[in-house]
Structure formats: C-alpha cells, structure tokens
Amino acid sequence: MNVGLDIKELNEKIQRESEFVDLIQMEINKVIIGQKHLIDSLLIAVLSNGHILLEGVPGLAKTLAITTLANTIQAKFSRIQFTPDLLPADLIGTMIYSQKTENFTVKKGPIFSNFILADEINRSPAKVQSALLEAMQERQVTIGEQSYKLDEPFMVLATQNPIEQEGTYPLPEAQLDRFMLKVIISYPTKEEEQRIIRINVAKEFPKANAIVSPQHIIKAREFVKEVYVDEKIERYILDIVFATRFPQDYKLEKFKEMIAYGASPRASIFLTLAAKAHAFIKRRGYVIPEDVRAICHDVLRHRIGLTYEAEAENITTEDIINEILNTIEVP
C-alpha cells in the first residue's frame, strides 16, 4: 500500500520529529507514578499552545507533574497560590519607585515564566482571574505604559478546588472557554499508590533530566500544525460540536431540555488542534477518529452548560458527551 505521497512524507517527518515526545514521557514517568492521562494532556496543551484547567482533590501530583515537565524542556516554572486578597499586581508585576535613581522601575510578577500553576484559581476575585485570563489570551501583559511579551512556550495550568464552595469565585463560562482542556484527575490505582509509598518512604526521589529546549517545543508546534486532518474528520468534529448545540438533530431529543448552551466555535478549533497534537504524540502524521475521541471529553466538558432539569436528574456533561460519541457515526 502506498500512503499518498505528501502524507507519506509528512508521516515520516512527524515520526522523526516526534521522537522527543517518547523521551519526555519516559523522563516524566521516572518521577510521576501513573497519571498517564494528565501527562498526555500536558503534552497536548504544550504542543498546541493551549491552557489547561485541572480539577481534582489535593495531593494528586499536579504541581509535581508540571514541575517535572518544565524540567524536561528546560522551562521556567512559577506556582501562584490564588487567595482572596491576591491583587492583579501580585500576578503580573508593578512599577516600584527607586529613591536611589529617582525613577520607577518595573518589577515583573510571577506570570513571567513558561509554565504557570495557578493553584485554586477560584479562590481569587474576578479582577485577578481576569488579569490572568487576559494574559493567557493576549500572551502579553502591560505594566504602567509598557507592554511586555510573555515567554514562549507559555502555558497556564489552573486548578479548581471542587470540594470547598464557600469563599470561592467560580470562573464564568466565557472565561472557562479560554482553557483548551479541562482535565479531571483521578486517584492512582492500588499498584501505583504502592510504588508512591515506597518512593516516599525511601526518600529516593528520581529527578527528570532535560530532554529538549523551549525552542524545540516552539518548532514542534509547527510540525503539529502540519498534521493532516481529512475532511471526514473535520465533519466528525463538527457533528460532535453541533450535537451539543442541537441534540434533536442527532436523535438526542432527550438532551434538548438538558443543555442550556452548547460548545462554542472555540470547541471546534480546540478539538482539531488537540486531535492533531494527540496524533503527533502518537507519532502519526494524520488524524484518525481515535484522536478525536481521546481528547473529546477534555475539550468539551467545560463548554456545555446544563439546565436545572439536567441537574435535577443528575445528568452530567460527561453523560452527554458519552451519549453523543455513542450516537454519532464514526467516519
């Protein structure tokens, strides 16, 4: 069989250029036990220039995962604990008056890093969240009258605390939409947790080595863009997104009253980009339906609004996405 000449070349190129992904995964796996989905999601977001919203109980190696990823690609990492008294200046930086020079000098905030862990983002008031989300969108911040470009690669990994609701400021839907993926982290398996116990008791923490440079990641993003997406796959993605908006057109009348609003066009864009990145980390030069399926939940779960009827009947966005995937014909 001859794979189409362009695709064959592309496939070979992608296989060649995506070698580093396996190495990064190996290095991260030395430090992180389990959490394969989290690591894949981090790589997808890094390679497709997106941001991740994480949800999971404390102690599931969120910070360790992103620190390790930062180490493997020699990137700068900042962790910001969002608190109710945090100010935008604490995040992006401010102008400080120097008596010695009699001038204002710029003090850059922790956002000037490659990877930001915005811990418990829903603990801060809206103005701080807006400052962060604006930086995520614009890739630059303005201090005083001067705008500063943020370092590339730039990725925000925000966590939301799902347990405590008191004293929190949940992110509005429009701002949630800016996160490419919302990843739900689950507990490790028994075997994985047994290995975690042994490592922690022995205090022999392995360290991840640097594999690639940030420039390598920026270059890899260009290869990800080149991954071939057939028209059939595009139509499959559109069917999935449109099914969240008009479920009655896809034999899903039962969800018509359950969905307050469907996924935005950003969902279609991010589904395509994330599917390409998934194909890249699987070292393929073209997207197949498996890639779309693999990232579908993470892309869509925070973009579907549920009605009170859905909440009353304990219908979750996961149920809706599962039903959509089980109903729409695979190309």
Partner 1 sequence: MMTKLTHIIVTIVYCLAFLHSSSQVLNVQAELNRNKCLIGDHLTLSLTLSKPLHSTISFPVLTDTITKSIEIIQKQNIDTITKENQQITLKQNFIITSFDTGLITIPPLPFVLKNDSITDTIYTNPITFSVYALPVDTTKQTIFDIKPPIGEPFSWKEFLPYILWSLLAILIIATAIYVYLRIKKNKPIIPIPEKPKDPPYVVALKQLHELKEKKLWQKQLYKQYYSELTDILRIYLEEQYQIPAMESLSSELIEHLKNRSFDEELVRNMQSLLTTADFVKFAKATPLPDENDWHWKNAVAFVEQTKPVMEEKNSESKGGEHD
User: What are the φ and ψ backbone dihedral angles of 242, each rounded to 5 degrees?
Assistant: -70, -30
Count of residues that interact with partner 1, criterion CB under 8 A:
25
> Which range binds partner 1 by CB under 8 A, 25-33, 36-44, 112-120, 286-294?
286-294
Q: Give yes or no for residue 269 binding partner 1 (CB under 8 A).
A: no
DSSP 108: E
Q: Taking CB under 8 A as the rule, does residue 228 contact partner 1?
A: yes
Q: Say which DSSP state 115 is in.
A: E
d(CA 102, CA 165): 46
Q: What angle do CA 44, 48, 51 make, to 5 degrees?
A: 75
DSSP structural state of residue 250: G
User: 283 is written with which tokens?
Assistant: 């070292």
- Three-state DSSP state, 54: strand
Q: Which of 110, 125, 188, 289 binds partner 1 (CB under 8 A)?
A: 289
Contacts of partner 1 in 2-31 (CB under 8 A): 2-4, 6-7, 11
Distances (CA, A) of 55 to 106, 304, 320: 34, 16, 19
Q: Does 219 bind partner 1 (CB under 8 A)?
A: no
Site membership for partner 1, residue 250 (CB under 8 A): no
CB of 295 to partner 1, least distance (A): 13
> Which member of 33, 288, 300, 310 binds partner 1 (CB under 8 A)?
288
Run of H or E including 41? helix 36-47
**Piece of 23-31, 190-198, 241-249, 287-295 that binds partner 1 (CB under 8 A):** 287-295
**Does 287 engage in binding with partner 1 (CB under 8 A)?**
yes
113 binds partner 1 (CB under 8 A): no
- Cα atoms in the 13 Å half-sphere on the side-chain side of 82: 29
User: Based on CB atoms, which residue is closest to partner 1, 7 or 87?
Assistant: 7
Q: Could you say whether residue 326 binds partner 1 (CB under 8 A)?
A: yes
